[in-house]
Structure 1
Amino acid sequence: MTELNGRRVLVTGAAGRIGLAAVAHLHAVGAKVTALTNVEDPELKADRVLLGDTRSEADVARALEGAEYVVHLAALPHPSAGSPYDVYSVNVVSTFNVLAQAGALGIDRAVIASSINATGVPFNPHEIRPAYFPWDEKAPSDVGDWYSLSKQSDENTARMAWRRWGIDVVAFRFPHVNSQDALQQMSDHVRSNPDSGMREAWSYLDTRDAAYAIELGLTAPLSGAHTFFVTASTTIAPYATEDLLDAYMPEVPRLRRFVDREVPIDLTAVRSVLGFQAQHELDLPTLPLEH
């Protein structure tokens, strides 16, 4: 058990991929979980399940009753998940609504799902690259789609909520997050098509590690609004990272060299501030890259 034992945590988007794992994990460490979802799911391990819309002031107010912590995961998770208007407005209004109400109630801590897409790189219609490797939270962004813009806006909303109400907010820039089996299938695809993982720097995260990161985001001793890249320490590709970068992004400056399959994303912040280290990484060989 942790300091979340017996504490009430609201999880929005609770029936989503990360949501289900987060609810199960928080339940396992003793939290009392309120799950807010727009779809029913019998797998939800929550003691209080509410059907509702995170854009609704009334639904969110009801879900926040008794909550001491908030985990906001509800979103349309891809540019094609709806019209451009819907994807942007649903995501941005939901995040504002949840954080504004939580902050006004005096709730001390929230974790929200941002995305590696807040950088603008993965879904950009232009052939852009990160400014440098290892990619970090300070790198400039170049947004060319509405989903990525919504995630950038969510991070700004987190900073506003902290300044306005003093609620500490942790925003995680998640990469592709999935189950171990699905990640292994993705790795098999990347093995044959290494360039398919290029725009996310071949990063990934197991849903169980995403849930663990959320626990740390709720309990770490910090204040303010913080944004963290959070990924596995290795890539999803069975090739040496230096070989991948030489083959696919030789023009991008490297501030240091990478060992074996080390992910070319700087995880210093999430490790030093939250103490995060992924526990469920793919066991892959390091093969010669033929390009």
Structure 2
Amino acid sequence: MRGWAATVQVASPLAGRRVLVTGAVGRIGSVATGHLSELGALVTALTIVEDSSLKADRVVIGDTRSEDDVAEALADVEFVVHLAALAHRDAGTPYDVYTGNVISTFNVLAQAGALGIKRAVIASSINAYGVPMNPHGPLPAYFPLDENIPSDVADWYSLSKQNDENTARMAWRHWGIDVVAFRFPHVNSADVLTRQAEHVREDPAFGVREGWSYLDTRDAAYAIELGLTAPLSGAHKFFVAAPTTNAPYETEALLDAFAPGVPRLRRFVGREVPIDLTAVRTVLGFQARYELDLPTDRLET
């Protein structure tokens, strides 16, 4: 995994300010909690399970579906990072996945908005446009994927993420809370992403509907930081990913082989990820700092 050189650190606007992180023990939540704490933020962690290693100065053991638990966690909070979710279609029953996700997001944003909290970041998903988990196997309407791509939802997890984005817009319109929703791809540690890349080497068709995208957990935490501090207003959704794919093949060759009939709005250079990252780069100033260091091999099909 290749990372950029460290840059000179300046005081974060989050220093000394209280941030609520829900799902703080999760894959992204634990890294984001540590990152925000290192920036000097005062972190309240809302988690359904205990974890003594959690880097937060205040921990609330509770459920994001509970009005009382969320109200307790929101005490003195200025910023919200809502990551708690059942993060896959098969993480529970269809009822539990859908209702748990949408109720949690509504509960957190509604209470935060009513309290006058001005900014929230929520975890949406690349699955919000429906295609990656669609059991009928459709391909995207075009490449690169972007925030306006047509959706084709046929599973309850993708529907929950799409409706989380709708909830964010409603909360902004009703209470004036600015919300940034990140359409995260597969997010994991460098070691796990490297192992996944080996799987993609053997089965390059895997991941075509997600554009072979990925993101290091450290970059997810960095994106969350920018989502909390960028000068913006409204409800925004952003695709966010590393700029390269997790496949050791040229993107054009992958698309020729596995999505030959899908229109391409532009050509792709080398292993460039076929997702348009213009919005997250220009609005938030985000650019991933950790990439998979893979060779570019010849694709044999």
Do both proteins adopt the same fold according to a TM-score greater than 0.5, normalized to the shorter chain? yes
Q: Which moved more, 1:96-105 or 1:189-198?
A: 189-198
What is the alpha-carbon distance in structure 2 between the residues aligned to residue 76 and residue 23 of structure 1? 19
Partner of 1:114: 124
Partner of 1:84: 94
What is the alpha-carbon distance in structure 2 between the residues aligned to residue 31 and residue 238 of structure 1? 39
Q: Which runs of 4+ in 1 moved over 3 A?
A: none
Tell me by how many angstroms 1:129 deviates.
Answer: 1.0
Match of 1:188 among 183, 198, 203: 198
Partner of 1:241: 251
Partner of 2:162: 152
What is the alpha-carbon distance in structure 1 between the residues aligned to residue 296 and residue 250 of structure 2? 6
SS in 1 for 2:36: helix
What is the alpha-carbon distance in structure 1 between the residues aligned to residue 39 and residue 223 of structure 2? 13
Which digits, 9 at most, give the CA deviation of each residue in 1:159-179, with x for residues without a partner?
000000000000000000000
In structure 2, give the amino acid aligned to 1:194: P
Q: Which moved more, 1:232-241 or 1:35-44?
A: 35-44
Tell me by how many angstroms 1:288 deviates.
Answer: 0.3
Match of 1:35 among 35, 45, 65: 45
Partner of 1:210: 220
What is the alpha-carbon distance in structure 1 between the residues aligned to residue 253 and residue 38 of structure 2? 41
In structure 2, give the amino acid aligned to 1:74: A
TM-score, normalised relative to structure 1: 0.99
Partner of 1:137: 147
Q: How does 1:244-259 map to 2 (within 5 A)?
A: 244-259=254-269
Q: Structure 1 residue 225 and structure 2 residue 219: aligned?
A: no
What is the alpha-carbon distance in structure 1 between the residues aligned to residue 157 and residue 257 of structure 2? 29
Judge conservation of contact 1:11–1:33 (CA < 8 Å) in 2: yes
Which digits, 9 at most, give the CA deviation of each residue in 1:59-78, with x for residues without a partner?
00000000000000000001
Q: Which moved more, 1:35-44 or 1:166-175?
A: 35-44
Which digits, 9 at most, give the CA deviation of each residue in 1:141-192, with x for residues without a partner?
0000000000000000000000000000000000000000000000001001
What is the alpha-carbon distance in structure 1 between the residues aligned to residue 262 and residue 50 of structure 2? 45
Tell me by how many angstroms 1:246 deviates.
Answer: 0.2
Tell me by how many angstroms 1:199 deviates.
Answer: 1.8
Q: When the two structures are aligned, how many residues end up with a matched partner?
A: 291
Tell me by how many angstroms 1:282 deviates.
Answer: 0.6
Judge conservation of contact 1:106–1:165 (CA < 8 Å) in 2: yes
Tell me by how many angstroms 1:34 deviates.
Answer: 0.2
Q: How does 1:10-25 map to 2 (within 5 A)?
A: 10-25=20-35
Partner of 1:98: 108
Q: Structure 1 residue 75 and structure 2 residue 115: aligned?
A: no
What is the alpha-carbon distance in structure 2 between the residues aligned to residue 77 and residue 41 of structure 1? 19
Partner of 1:4: 14
What is the alpha-carbon distance in structure 1 between the residues aligned to residue 207 and residue 136 of structure 2? 16
Q: Which runs of 5+ in 1 are unaligned?
A: none
SS in 2 for 1:194: coil
Tell me by how many angstroms 1:197 deviates.
Answer: 1.6
SS in 1 for 2:143: coil
What is the alpha-carbon distance in structure 1 between the residues aligned to residue 113 and residue 104 of structure 2? 14
What is the alpha-carbon distance in structure 2 between the residues aligned to residue 123 and residue 253 of structure 1? 21
What is the alpha-carbon distance in structure 2 between the residues aligned to residue 240 and residue 208 of structure 1? 25
What is the alpha-carbon distance in structure 2 between the residues aligned to residue 161 and residue 43 of structure 1? 33
What is the alpha-carbon distance in structure 2 between the residues aligned to residue 135 and residue 17 of structure 1? 25
What is the alpha-carbon distance in structure 1 between the residues aligned to residue 66 and residue 170 of structure 2? 20
What is the alpha-carbon distance in structure 1 between the residues aligned to residue 295 and residue 181 of structure 2? 32
SS in 1 for 2:295: coil
In structure 2, give the amino acid aligned to 1:188: E
Match of 1:271 among 232, 256, 281: 281
Tell me by how many angstroms 1:281 deviates.
Answer: 0.6
Q: Which moved more, 1:195-204 or 1:97-106?
A: 195-204
